[in-house]
Amino acid sequence: MRAVVQRVASARVVVDDEVVGVMSSGLLCLVAVKQGDDLARADEMARKLVHLRVLPDAEGRMNRSLLDAGGTLGVVSQFTLYGDCSKGRRPFFGEAAPPEVAEPLLSRLIDTARQEGVSVITGRFGAHMQVHLTNDGPVTLLVDV
- Averaged over 70-86, what is the pLDDT? 97
In a domain, 97, yes or no: yes
In a domain, 142, yes or no: no
Catalytic residue among 80, 115, 130, 140: 80
pLDDT at residue 29, as a whole number: 98
Q: How many domains does the chain have?
A: 1
Segment 100-128, tens digit of pLDDT:
999 999 999 999 999 999 999 999 999 99
Known active-site residue 72: no
**Domain interval for residue 122:** 2-137
Instruction: State the pLDDT confidence band at 75, using cuts at 50, 70 and 90.
Output: very high
pLDDT at residue 67, as a whole number: 97
pLDDT at residue 20, as a whole number: 98
* DSSP character string of 16-51: TTEEEEEESSEEEEEEE-BTT--HHHHHHHHHHHHH
Q: Is 67 helix (H, G, I), strand (E, B) or coil?
A: helix
What CATH number is attached to the domain comprising 18?
Answer: 3.50.80.10
In a domain, 20, yes or no: yes
d(CA 79, CA 102): 9
- Averaged over 12-34, what is the pLDDT? 98
In a domain, 144, yes or no: no
Known active-site residue 92: no
- Percent of the chain exceeding pLDDT 90 equals 100
Asked if 131 and 13 touch (Cβ cutoff 8 Å), the reply is yes
Catalytic residue among 6, 72, 79, 112: 79
State pTM to two decimals: 0.96
In a domain, 145, yes or no: no
Asked if 92 and 82 touch (Cβ cutoff 8 Å), the reply is no
